[in-house]
Each structure stands twice: as structure tokens, then as C-alpha cells.
Amino acid sequence: MRTRTRTLLFAAGAAGAAALFTAGALDLPRFGGAVHPYGDRAVRQALRESTTNTISSVNFDQRAFDTIGEELILMASAIGAVVLLRVVGKEAEDQGAAHRHGPAEVSDALRIVGYLLLPVTLLIGVYIIAHGAQSPGGGFQGGVVLGTAVHLLYLAGDYPALQRLRPIPVFESTEALAAGVFVAMALAAAGAVPALNGAVGVEVGCALVLLIGKFFEQALLVREPPGGTP
Amino acid sequence: MILQLTVAVPILAAALLATAGRWLPRLVVDVAAVLAVAAVAALAALTLTRAPHHAQVSWLGGWGPATGVGIPLAADPFAAGLALVTALLTLAALLFSWRFFTEVQAIFHTLMLLFLAAMVAYVYTGDLFDAFVFFELMSVVAFALTGYRSEEPSTVHGALNFGIIQSIGAYLTLAGIALVYARTGQLGLATAGRQLIGTGTGHGGHGDALVTAAFVLICTGYLVKASAVPFHFWLADAHAVAPTPVCVLFSGIMVPLGVYGIARTYWATFAGLVPLRAIAVLGAAAALLGAVMCVLQHHIKRLLAYSTVSHVGLLLVGVAAHGPGALAGTAYYLAGHAGVKGALFLAAGALLNRHQTVDEHELRGRGRGMPVTGATFLLGALGLAGLPPSGLFAGHAVTEHAAEELGWWWFTPLAIAASALTAGAVLRVWLGVFRGTPAEEDPAQEDPAHGARPDAGGGHEDPETRPTLRNLPWTMVSPGLVLLAAALLAGLIPGGPVGAAAAMFTDRDGYAALVLDGRVPHPHSVPADPWTASGVAGFLATLLLAALIAVHAVRRRASDRTGGGILARAAAATSARLHALHSGHIGDYAAWLTAGVAVLALLTTRF
């Protein structure tokens, strides 16, 4: 299809879809109304179970099955990244070309800040997971903090240290294990919000480390073909 | 607890294999995966036997209907049957791939198990948002499985197209769910449906603009999955590059699950509020276009993929016919199609393994040493044509009867045309590959223009097994044969229970009673009766046409296409047009998708 035709087709379709959505949205309840049926029920049930953080109660208790699905999506994405990106690793091995990882020059200020922030950030991640049942936070958020904290080492310019800190196979296994533990716990006893929170935290943290690690491997692989010219 | 276990067993097995697969011997991985899938099949079969009499409902975590916040899993007979079909297809695919993919730990098995879990959860869930979550999980796993052999650029291309188009569809579905939620404050299919009936009716008891918009948007994602025209472009690209055992699951059950999603959402939530004519129109278009494209292919996996577009289009028409009769026929059709298509893809996989190509021209006459594979293609073609007592025969006959009562005179010709074209194409493959004489080594065969178009396919492909197996082991042969036999006998499933299940499925209050009150509804039902004279006549007509198409194609190839009347030239021009339409360009596909939403909206709105 030529670009012009494609644009016209898209414009016509988008106009129709926009009209449909606008017409539908105009029939929505007025903004700022006092009726919140689902919210009322969710808060009431959370308080009945004495979970003070209603959001965690919805995530890990009332609708824990959704969370299982979301966790598995994350796990499948991480596994998928491993499958799809394994070719890059193979290329590097196959071609035997010289390659190296990572940024070369990092200023001292960045290096020091990276080292200093690493333990603090890890602590914050653990805190957010541990207190998810009571205060804002939870396994997903804390897991993301944990997963990214590790990569401060990269900002500090120390890629070898980062590689030592996160052996990919271990994280792969731990991630899957945490997902399995979450499902098993949800089957056995829904309602153990803090424990479920912890399992999700581990799973999300590992998955994130895995994903970022795989992307790093791809993005930072500086190929230096033997011939010199690309 | 049975329903939870049906979902949890494959997830736990997947987690185990992902954790320890790196260190486990290959045999243990294979056995563990197969055992887990067999357990799911057994659980689904148990659910199926119990569903007609005892309510198979389970509110997860004990958050019952009174609390108004929980998620139900509910299995009526159709849902349980679909779960069973899913598990059996996965079992066949895993057995077939026993000798496949030795290099990457246990990731292939992990993904297959997650795929199964996602599909079962999607089928059982009684919650709009939860359905979306597992729909997404299904898609994500499917992307990874499609791109599994990511060494080749075309694989990445196909997987990327698949991923982008599916994701756009899924976002629109989520937007539709948000509209329903904003109006009703409910996420359960049954509870949201009750609320919509109460509040969402405009003039004359029909849905207002919000209801229409929500239905159209939710359907868009499901129609992308179900590959209705013009949402179907991703399907052939993905099937052409995905590993063959994965194609079995894609064509056999994942694409039809899009149809299930529409049917379930409609009857549980939107019944009577919106018309289904849009689904009928897009489904009929898919049935026709898919069939024509099917005949035009010579890459066998692409050919089979387009036949899936066509047959799933017929399933959509069956759902849109809007009644228990047509739905019973659709169920027969789905079961038969799953088996036949699964067997055909496995046979294509056997060809790929033996000859490193699935190009019909290159394979010409080279299948003579493979009698079982040849027989699969022949019987598969007959099955697609609706050989009694296959599931497709029963499906045609029952749906046709229901369509006639609606006054849909066009259904019978449409079904015959779609079946004849797809069956004719498969029959042509059988004639050429298994009965033809091998072409002598032709230097001109290495046509450089061949691989340039993504649609052309062909050329050498990496075998999925390594090293190439001398003799096909029984693990690669028997799954296809069992699937084929099951499909060819599926029409013998007694019509009484099928009719009753269809009546239960199409009864909105019955579904609400099942989910919310735990009561099994027993609406009045008519037994499905596949054995009609017009059904048999339809099969004979289809078979005759299919044979004509196949023989004509083979003749034409033998005479080397020298004849060029106006008709032939017009046909060639049309075919070039159609190929150009399926360009492989993701921008084209996205533009068609938005246009499809607009068409859906136009056809669904009541002016």
C-alpha cells in the first residue's frame, strides 16, 4: 500500500473509532459523582479483613487471581526475552569477534554516588515490599526498586561487578521459583497478604534484573569486527 | 477446587521447569511436562462429565458473590469441553516435539505449559478484567513461541507483526472493559450484565452509545485473535514462522478462543443489547477471503493458516446466528476443525523435518516415501470438506439448519464455497506432493525473486529437529493420527447434550444463576441433529467442487500456464492484488485495524 493510501485509510478508521469512543464516553456517569460501587465494596471488605492498605488487599487478596496472571505475564516476558535474545549471545560466540561491554569513562562523582546509593536503594526496596500490607507500596513497586537498584553499579561504571552481582541463571531460577511459590500460596491460603507481597517482590525484582540484564547484553555489546570496518 | 487445580497444575509445572530445567535431564523435562498436561486433560474431562448436573463454580480465595469483589471460575459444559480440547491439543503438540528444541533448557516446555494455563483460565473465568489478564498472558506467551527460532529475520518479522497487532487490539479491549466498569461498577460478566440491563438501555430496550462502544471495543481485541477480516493479517505471518507444534495450538484453539470470547461476553453480558450483524459480516468476509488466499498459497504452513482464517470466519458466523441451534453447530465445527487442523500442521511438520522445506513446488513428488503423512493430508482434506461423521460435517449441517430458520439463505453457499476452496487447496497439495512425479533438477528453480516478498515464503528452511531424523519416530506420527481420528468421529458426539449445553450457554439468566447462585440451569433445549439430507448433500457438493479445484490446479501446472484468456489474466491480476494487500507491512495492518473498528462501529450502531 502506498503511504498516502495508508494514511487515508488510517484517518478514516481513526475518525470512526474516535467518534465511537466519544459517543460512548459522553454516556459515562458525571465526573465527581458520589457513587463508587466497587470502591465502597473493596474498602469495606479490606477493613473487614483488617488489611489497612486497601490497594494491597485488592491486589493480593480480593483479586489475587489477576495478580497471578500479571505475574505470569512478567515471567513469560522475561523468559521470552531470554529466548529471543539468545541469538545475540550466540553471534558473539560464533563470530569470535572482539567485543567488550559497557561505557568506558565515568566521572568520579557519578561513580561515588552510584556506590553510595546502592545499599540505600536496596533497603528502600525491601522496606516498600515489607510494608506493602500497611502503607502505600507493595510487591510490584518494591520489586521494581530492587531490580533497578542493582543496576546502579552500571551507572557507577563497574560492569564486571554488576555481572558478578547478578548471575543470570540464578535470577532465572529464583524468578520462576517465586512465581510458583506465589501460586501455591494463593491456592493454599489467600489472605496472607504480607507473604504474598514478599513472593511478588522477589519475582518482580528477579524478572526485572533478568530483563534489564538481557537488554544490556544486547545494547552494550560493542562489536569490533576483525576486519576493522563494519 | 477442581477448577483451580486445572489452572494451577500447569503453572506449577511451568515454574518447576523454569526453575530447575537447566539441570534436569531432557527426559525428565519431557515426562514432567506431558504428565502435567495429561493431568489437566483428566481434570477437564472430569469437569465436563460433572458440569451438566453439578454447578462447577468456584469463587477464588473465598470471596463469594455476596462480597461483590471476588473472581469466579465457572465451567459450563462448553467451557469444560474447550478446556479439554486445549489440553488434548497441547498434549499432541508436546508429544510431537519430544525430539524438538534440544538446545534451550526447558524454556519451550515452560512456555507451552503457561500457554495451556492461560487458555484454560481464560475459558473458565467469569470476570471481564480477569479474562483480559489471561488473554494478555496468552498473547505474550504466543509472541515468544512464535519468535522461538529467532535466528531468522522472517521469524522476528512475523512475531513482531503478531505482537503489535495483538497488542493494539488488546488495548482497545481494555478500553471497552473500562467503559463497562465505569457504568456499572462491576467486573463480573454476570453482575455487569445485570447492571447493564437495568441502566444501560436507551430507547426500545436496546443499548445506548456507551454499551455499543464498549461492545465494539471489547470485540476488537477478540476479533484480532479470531482473525476476522480486516484484522486477520498477522495470522499467516505468525503461522509461517512459528514452530509446527505451536501452529497446532494457534490454529486449533487459540484463534477459535477469540470466537469463544465474543460468544461468552455477548451472552453473559450484552445479550439483547447490541446486534451481532457486524460479527456476521466480518466473519463471512474472513470465510471468503481466507479461502481464496488459501488457494493462492504454495507455502504449506501459510496455506493451512489461511484455511484457519476461513474456517474461523465460519465459526464467527455461527455465533452471530444468535441462537442455541447455530451455537451447537459451531461447537461441533470447532472440535472437528481443531483436530483436522492440528493433524495437518503436524503432517506439515513431518514434511519440514524430512525435506527442510514446506514449499509445495519444491516438494513435488517427494512425499511418496511417507504414506502416513500422505494419508493424513488426504483425510485432512476430506475432513475440511465435511466428510461424515466428522465434526465439521455435523457443524455444517446443524448450523445450516439454524441459519435457514433465520432466513440466512447465503450461509449454505458461503460454507460450501469456503470449505470447497480450503479442502481443494489441501487436496492439491496431496496430489502434487504425494501422488505427483518429482520434477527433475531444474536450475531455474532457484528463483531469486522468491523470497523477496514476505508472502512468497518458500526456499530452504531450517529443520526444527537436528539432526534430521531418518525414520519418523512414533511420537511424531501418532499424535496426528489420534487427532485426525478424533476429528473425523467428532460428529458422533450425541446431539442431546450438545444441544442442552448450547441452550445453557445462550441463556443469560442461566449463566448468572450458575455463577452467582451455584444453580445449574436447565433451559428448554432441542437436541442437535447432524444427520440431515441437506447436510450430506452439502458434503457431496463440497467434495465435488474441491476435487475440481485440485485437479484443475494440477492440470494447469502441468500445462505450464501457457494459456492466457481474459479470465486467466483477470484471475492473475486479482491474485497479484490480493498478495499485495497482504504486504507484511505493519503500518498497513494497523491502518486496516482502525478501519475495522470503524466498520464494526457502523454495523453495530442502531440508527
Which ipTM value was assigned to this complex? 0.90
Does B598 sit within 8 Å of A17, measured CB to CB?
yes
Lowest-pLDDT choice from A151-165, B262-276, B286-300:
A151-165
Q: What values do phi and psi take at B73, rounded to 5?
A: -105, 130
- Is the pLDDT reported for residue B465 higher than 80? no
Any chain B CB within 8 A of the CB of A135?
Answer: no
Closest CA to B432 of B468, B491, B392, B381: B381
Contact indicator for B464, B356 with CB cutoff of 8 Å = no
- Are the Cβ atoms of B594 and A10 closer than 8 angstroms? yes
CA B196 to chain centre: 30
Supply angle C-alpha B256, B258, B264, rounded to 5.
105
Give the span between the Cα atoms of B314 and B307, in whole angstroms. Answer: 11
Nearest CB to B104: which of A19, A86, A174? A86
Chain centroid to Cα A110, Å, comes to 25
Contact state of B150 with A41 under an 8 Å Cβ cutoff: no
Instruction: Express as a percent the part of chain B with pLDDT over 70.
Output: 91
| Strand spans (E) along B1-48 | none
Choosing among B23, B43, B60, B223, which should be mutated to test the A contact, i.e. which has the most A CBs within 10 A? B60
pLDDT at residue B188, as a whole number: 94
Three-state DSSP at B127 gives: strand
In this complex, which of B151, B214, B602 lies closest to A16 when CB atoms are compared?
A: B602
Render pLDDT for B183-224 as a digit per residue (tens, 0 to 9).
Answer: 999 999 999 999 888 776 665 667 789 999 999 999 999 999
- Cβ-defined contact of A65 to B110 (cutoff 8 Å): no
**Between B12, B14, B209, which is nearest A27 by CB?**
B209
Q: Where do runs of H (alpha helix) occur along B125-152?
A: 128-146
Chain A residues in contact with B71 (beta carbon < 8 A): 63, 65-66
Cα–Cα distances (Å) from A106 to A157, B434, B604, in that order, read: 6, 65, 60
Looking at the complex, report in whole angstroms how far the Cα of residue A113 sits from the nearest Cα belonging to chain B: 35
Q: Per the CB < 8 Å rule, is A25 touching B185?
A: no
The residue ranges of every structural domain in chain B are: 1-125+494-527, 133-274+559-607, 276-417+474-493
Interface contact flag, B591 A177, Cβ < 8 Å: no
Residue B286 has pLDDT above 90, yes or no: yes
Most confident of A185-199, B157-171, B553-567: B157-171
Contact A73 B133 (CB under 8 A): yes
DSSP letters, A94-152, are HH--EEE-S-----HHHHHHHHHHHHHHHHHHHHHHHTTTTSS--HHHHHHHHHHHTTH
Confidence of residue A100 (pLDDT cuts 50, 70, 90): low
Contact A45 B63 (CB under 8 A): yes
- Give the span between the Cα atoms of B558 and A212, in whole angstroms: 56
> How far off is chain A from B404, nearest CA to CA, in Å?
33
Q: Which three cell numbers stand for residue B422?
A: 480450503
Residue-wise pLDDT for B95-116, tens only, equals: 998 866 555 568 899 999 999 9
Contact B137 A24 (CB under 8 A): no
**Mutation target among A73, A77, A86, A170 for the B interface, most CBs of B within 10 A:** A73
Q: In the predicted model, is pLDDT for residue B564 greater than 90?
A: no
B185–A37 C-beta distance less than 8 A: yes
pLDDT surpasses 50 at B29: yes
Q: Which of B15, B62, B605 sits opposite A176 (nearest CB)?
A: B15
d(CA A88, nearest CA chain B) in Å: 9
Paired with A224 in beta bridges are A98
Tell whether the model's pLDDT for residue A159 goes beyond 90.
Answer: no
A186 and chain B in contact, CB less than 8 A: yes
**Residues 6 or more apart in contact with residue B53 via CB below 8 angstroms:** B520
pLDDT digits (tens, 9 = 90+) for B401-433: 999 999 999 999 999 999 999 999 999 999 999
Q: In the structure grid, which three cell numbers stand for residue B168, read together?
A: 493494539
Confidence of residue B581 (pLDDT cuts 50, 70, 90): confident
Give pLDDT, residue A227: 47
Average pLDDT over residues B152-165: 92
CA distance B111 to chain A (A): 7
